[in-house]
């Protein structure tokens, strides 16, 4: 190729410009912080965060109830009327707003009369869904309601549509809530409870598209209407909030049919979505033995929750533009292969820093949709799936997920403050997700603004510059949850390996907040 002198000079000049700092936007050197910017708009408040999105779920599954919560009054493990004290104290510290029971798939084979009366006379059953073990029914309605009252929480009970009758469901509601001088209310009194219990939330069936009966949406819509008719409000001042069985992840047809045929008869519609690292139910992946590929895939798949809520909510808006019917995400969390050496049907898995990031991302999504999402219940509370607590006989530990619940409890009942975030990408291979996630609320008493942040990158810190609109805080304090490795977790030998510690990486100056967000971390900030 013949290049003239003038062309050669021009070529050299361009090359020099491209090589100079002024002529190139260079990527940050490896290990240096990425940069995110945001505007926190305290001057344009959004909806209130329903505390119930920080709810929990306890199913008769594996060691979730027996040993995890219930040890019996004669156990050497310290307990209150059979409920273990260490677990009770740890759960009370979370300000649990609502607790779902008895399932799950177990609910649609549960017959409530088997779980009342003297424990030694209660009939046993086979838990066909979870391990084929014998269920002695020692933990029944009275024990669950006792747990609810000890926790200071609210009951969300799921009724049996799959294998139960309308009469059975109707009588259970009367047994629990009727103040009358009637046979069922008197049976409750005979079994030791004079005053009716509060029953704020009742689910009419569970996963009726699957383990709850393999029903078509049209059929379940009719069944819902029939069963729901007989869920009576014996306490008319506090009517029961009725929750219909909703879809699993992307089953949008189910939502459309239910809303069209039964929407006006329900208060809430459930949604289930589990995060699998591989997306393959036959080989889901390990809870502790994973590399960055499954760290990334887990967080990426978790973020699909936002898409599913958005699309289901859009369908609901067609027949319910006033958002009267709430979305109840009453099963969510990670689902891995069980721990080696444990019963496959018990769904026992460890819980690492990765799960803490999953929890934070989900809470941010729920709060982003606070106008429609009214409840969420992690699966599950103790010893099952993404549990907040693990036990081993007399031992107990709090998982990294527990600490996210504990850190984020300040968001409960707060008013959403929009956070307009421009996040760098966290890239793995040819895929990418936002590196930084954020959510903010103003406390109900207006005493503080809380900003929670998560950094999904396992290796790169981020500097987050936040412009503050409508708020002029004088101070900022915080806590951070992180760990040396992606799979760091708490064990019974070292139960405090992953715990939140004070965070001093945030500062306020000139109407802006600057946060130095560590890699693979969750941070909660208090602005006053």
* d(C-alpha 250, C-alpha 247), whole Å: 7
* d(C-alpha 485, C-alpha 482), whole Å: 9
- Identify the bridge partners of residue 449 per DSSP, sorted by sequence position: 442, 527
H or E stretch covering 243: strand 241-248
CA distances, 326 to each of 155, 204, 364, 386, 517 (Å): 17, 15, 17, 24, 34
Q: How many CA atoms lie within 13 A of 77 on its CB side?
A: 21
* d(C-alpha 327, C-alpha 324), whole Å: 10
Q: Write the CB contacts of 225 (distance below 8 Å, at least 6 apart in sequence).
A: 261, 262, 265
Burial of 52 (0-12, 13-18, 19+ CB in 10 A): buried
Please give the backbone phi and psi of residue 304, each rounded to the nearest 5 degrees, phi first. -65, -20
Catalytic residue among 67, 171, 207, 406: 207
Active-site residue flag, 207:
yes
Q: Write the CB contacts of 470 (distance below 8 Å, at least 6 apart in sequence).
A: 41, 42, 43, 44
Handedness of CA 360, 93, 51, 346 (dihedral sign): positive
Lookup: tokens for 181: 């001088």
Q: Look at residues 518, 409, 521, 517 and name the one whose alpha carbon lies nearest to residue 465.
A: 517
Q: Look at residues 408, 362, 378, 399 and name the one whose alpha carbon lies nearest to residue 492.
A: 399
Q: How many CA atoms lie within 13 A of 505 on its CB side?
A: 21
Dihedral of the CA atoms 96, 100, 106, 108 (nearest 10)? 180
Active-site residue flag, 331:
yes
Q: Look at residues 170, 168, 313 and name the one whose alpha carbon lies nearest to residue 246.
A: 313
Q: Is 216 left (phi over 0), alpha (psi -120 to 50) or beta?
A: beta
- Identify the bridge partners of residue 327 per DSSP, sorted by sequence position: 269, 373
DSSP secondary structure letters along 326-369: EEEEEEEEE--PPPTTS-GGG-----BHHHHHHHHHHHHHHHHT
Catalytic residue among 67, 143, 331, 406: 331
Q: Write the CB contacts of 177 (distance below 8 Å, at least 6 apart in sequence).
A: 196, 197, 198, 199, 234, 235, 240
Lookup: tokens for 333: 């969390």
H or E stretch covering 503: strand 501-503
Active site amino acids: 207, 331
């Amino acid at each position: 190729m013949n290049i003239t002198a003038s062309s050669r000079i021009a070529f050299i000049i361009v090359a020099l410009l491209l090589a100079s700092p002024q002529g190139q936007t260079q990527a940050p050197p490896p290990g240096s912080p990425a940069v995110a910017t945001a505007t926190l708009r305290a001057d344009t408040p959004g909806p209130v965060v329903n505390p119930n999105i920080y709810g929990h779920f306890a199913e008769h599954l594996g060691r979730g109830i027996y040993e995890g919560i219930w040890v019996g009054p004669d156990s050497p493990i310290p307990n209150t009327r059979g409920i273990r004290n260490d677990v009770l104290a740890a759960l009370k510290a979370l300000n649990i707003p609502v607790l779902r029971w008895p399932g799950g798939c177990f609910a649609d084979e549960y017959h409530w009369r088997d779980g009342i009366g003297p424990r030694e006379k209660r009939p046993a059953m086979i838990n066909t869904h979870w391990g084929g073990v014998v269920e002695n029914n020692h933990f029944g309605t009275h024990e669950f309601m006792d747990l609810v009252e000890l926790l200071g929480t609210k009951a969300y009970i799921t009724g049996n549509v799959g294998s139960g009758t309308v009469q059975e469901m109707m009588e259970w509601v009367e047994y629990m809530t009727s103040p009358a001088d009637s046979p069922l209310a008197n049976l409750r009194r005979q079994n030791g409870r004079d005053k009716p219990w509060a029953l704020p939330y009742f689910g009419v069936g569970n996963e009726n598209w699957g383990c709850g009966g393999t029903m078509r949406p049209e059929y379940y819509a009719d069944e819902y209407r029939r069963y729901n008719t007989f869920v009576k409000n014996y306490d008319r001042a506090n009517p029961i909030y009725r929750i219909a069985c909703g879809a699993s992840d992307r089953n949008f047809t189910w939502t459309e049919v239910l809303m069209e045929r039964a929407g006006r008869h329900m208060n809430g519609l459930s949604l289930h979505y589990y995060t699998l690292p591989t997306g393959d139910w036959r080989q889901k992946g390990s809870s502790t033995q994973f590399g960055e590929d499954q760290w990334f895939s887990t967080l990426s798949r978790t973020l699909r929750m936002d898409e599913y809520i958005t699309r289901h909510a859009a369908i609901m808006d067609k027949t319910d533009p006033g958002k009267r019917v709430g979305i109840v995400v009453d099963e969510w969390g990670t689902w891995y292969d069980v721990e080696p050496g444990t019963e496959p049907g018990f769904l026992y898995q460890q819980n690492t820093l990765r799960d803490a990031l999953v929890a934070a991302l989900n809470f941010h999504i729920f709060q982003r949709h606070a106008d429609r999402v009214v409840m969420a219940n992690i699966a599950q509370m103790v010893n099952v799936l993404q549990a907040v607590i693990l036990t081993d006989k007399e031992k107990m530990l709090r998982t990294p997920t527990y600490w996210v619940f504990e850190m984020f409890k300040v968001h409960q009942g707060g008013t959403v403050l929009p956070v307009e975030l421009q996040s760098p990408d966290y890239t793995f291979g040819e895929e990418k997700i936002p590196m930084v996630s954020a959510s903010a609320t103003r406390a109900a008493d207006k005493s503080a603004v809380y900003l929670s942040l998560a950094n999904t990158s396992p290796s790169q810190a981020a500097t987050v510059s936040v412009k503050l609109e409508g708020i002029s805080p004088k101070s900022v304090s915080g806590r951070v949850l992180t760990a040396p490795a992606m799979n760091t977790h708490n064990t019974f030998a070292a139960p405090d390996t992953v715990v939140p510690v004070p965070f001093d990486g945030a500062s306020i100056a000139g109407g802006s907040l600057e946060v130095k967000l560590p890699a693979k971390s969750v941070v909660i900030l208090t602005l006053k």
